[in-house]
Amino acid sequence: MALSREQQDEIDRQRAQVQATRRITVPALEEILFQALPVLDHGFVRVVDYMGDDGAIVQAARVSYGRGTRKVQEDRGLINYLMRHRHTTPFEMCEIKYHVKLPIFVARQWIRHRTANVNEYSARYSILDREFYMPAPEHLAAQSASNRQGRGEVLAGDEARRVLDLLREDSMRAYDHYIEMLNEDDAGAEGEDAAKRDSAKRDPGRQGLARELARMNLSLNFYTQWYWKIDLYNLMHFLGLRADAHAQYEIRAYAEVMLGTLDRWVPHAASAFREYALGGVRLSATGLAVVRRMLAGEPVDQATSGMSAREWRELMAALGRT
C-alpha cells in the first residue's frame, strides 16, 4: 500500500492533535487512531472515531450510572453471558467509524450490510486514481466445481501469467480511455505509468466528457473509498460473515484487519465474539437431537438423522467427523 504525500501529511496532522475530553477513551485503540492499516495491494482501513468501550456495554446492560465497583472478571462474565444468549442491545451502545479504501467489487459485497452509515468517494465530483486491484498469484484460482460462488484450484504457470497480463492490460487501457474521455491530465500516473501521460495530456481545444459518464468505463477492480460508521453489534454481525473461512478472500482480508481493531477497542467483547460466534456452532433442534443420540451410543447416519445431506455434512464437519 502506497500513500500519497498528501494522504500521509493528513494522517500525521490528525495523529498530532491531542484533545482534552471527559469521554471514555481506549488507549490501545488510540495508539492506531487515524493510521492506515494496509489491506490487499492498494487498500487500507483506518479507525477515525469511536464511542464507548467494554464498560459501556456493561453499563447499558445494568442500566446504572458510572462504572460502579464491579470487578473486571464480573464485567467479563456479564459480556460473555450477553453474547452467549444473544442479548444484542447493550452492544449497540458502542459505535466506530472507519475510513476504508477498497476495490469496487469488494464495496458492492460490503454494501449488502445495510446497518451502517456510509459516505462514498464521488466519481461524479472527483477523478479516480490510477489504482486497481491485482490478485497475488496464490489467490488466482479457477471456478469451484462444487460451489457456484467459490474458488477451486490455484492457477499456475502460463495460464496464471496470461490472466494477470489480461487483468493488467485491460485495467490500464480502461483508465487511459477514462482520462482521455475526461480530457484531463493523468495526475495519478507514477513510475512506469508516467510514460503513458504523453497519450493522456489535456487537449485545450476539446471539451471533456462529464465525470459522471466517463467513470462507467472503469472496471470493478478500481479502488474507491468511503467512511463507514456502525454500532458494535452490527459490526460483529458483519465480521461473523466476512471473516468466515467461506467468505471471498478479498473482503475477508478487510474483515481480519478490522478484527484486530475490535481486539484493541473492546477486548472483552471481542474475546466473547471469538468464543461464541466465530469459534462456535449453532445447532438446529434436529442437529442437537442427533448429537444427543450419538452421546448415548446410538449409531446415526444421514439416512436416520432426519437431516438433509447438506445439513448432515455441515454437522459432521463441525463435530470433526467424516
What residues act catalytically? 242
CA dihedral of residues 102, 106, 110, 116 (deg, nearest 10): 20
- Retrieve residue 238's grid coordinates: 458483519
Using DSSP's 3-state secondary structure scheme, residue 103 falls into strand
Q: Give the span between the Cα atoms of 82 and 275, in whole angstroms.
A: 12
Q: Give the span between the Cα atoms of 253 and 247, in whole angstroms.
A: 10
Q: Give the span between the Cα atoms of 83 and 160, in whole angstroms.
A: 44
Report residue 37: phi and psi, to 5°: -90, 115
Nearest to 182 by CA among 205, 154, 202, 204: 202
Q: Give the span between the Cα atoms of 206 and 223, in whole angstroms.
A: 28
Report residue 246: phi and psi, to 5°: -85, -10
Count CA within 13 A, CB hemisphere, residue 283.
14
SS (H, E, C) 166-200: HHHHHHHHHHHHHHHHHCCCCCCCCHHHHHHHHHH
Q: Give the span between the Cα atoms of 84 and 205, in whole angstroms.
A: 67
Report residue 92: phi and psi, to 5°: -75, -10
Helix (H) or strand (E) holding 10: helix 5-16
